[in-house]
Structure 1
């Protein structure tokens, strides 16, 4: 089926990133299969993570169908684009429909993108992973592809203004080797293995990141354990509880 929306959107995004002069460093795209279904799993620190996750699959000539909250599909601008790109709406009150939709996509040979943290991590560290990605891969008989992004929070993240000017911001992407989702294993055990691998890739992306905060006013995007002023996971949980 012709991709009348997805490919033009990809072209527009590439043009935009060139205008912003983003420095994109992507390694590991060869780990994304050239054919067949797979579940692409990433950390989540920005509203734009899915765009960069998708870019990582392009060298393999693959398009990723992302699972995203249903409200995005109702927006007057993003809605038609999300539907045209065949992404998968998730209504958290009726998650069974989204799960079935994703399973059908995987069985038809598509790559489905999942953020197992479910929401953006405001501490910029990994939150706990939900088991849905592992269960999808098990039931569809496809591999899990772990990946991590870093730097995207400096463009647009929760609680901070967007930075869509020519900013020269580096974006680091690391894609890991496939993880087999054996049906003989407990989904929770696969999920723990998956999270550990994404953590390793995130740390590798952070080590490779070419810049550090420029001063006291530029430390918000660094997690506290790396010397930044982002809230700790405990502080985020306390704020959410109130």
Structure 2
């Protein structure tokens, strides 16, 4: 018997989450998607063929439903803990969903509310925290730790023995070298190659990845500053 589930958010990630649920139901009917909760769309409207049933804080009105999160982008990821807290839901109410095409080691551990999309690979000994989203075709190497509320965008590659602190965003097609630490609340830009540790709260981009100033410009190294003097 299938269980009702609600999707949080109606942004672009909602497409992938809905595809994931449909793929799971193809093999074993498990979930009945009741609709969406979203603060940006009026209740009673339709999205992707389903009803928007209310804002996020209405989650408590659905005591028999499970929930899955689709909220999170490079613009909003740092607010994700507060956004999910606004639902008033306990972590146990969130389903962990793994696409049938994903390859997750039996020696990996997934937290609560984790979304693992199509084509994802997770190596042995890896620990994935709560409310993590692994977008399509990303790769997480062995013995790596992915902190709570972190998002790996499509085709991101995280090598072995990497520690990503909570609430980070790893951009699409970026690569993180082995044995590095990525600090809390940091952002790795699209296509970046990270070969050094990333400080908490930093935004890095490029090949090799370097910190960006608040204006979005790359922070010059000490050697570059000497040349410009």
Structure showing greater radius of gyration is: 2
Tell me which protein shows more helix as a share of its residues. Answer: 1
Bigger RCO (CA 8 Å, 6+ sep): 1
TM-score of the aligned structures, taking structure 2 as reference length: 0.38
TM-score of the aligned structures, taking structure 1 as reference length: 0.37
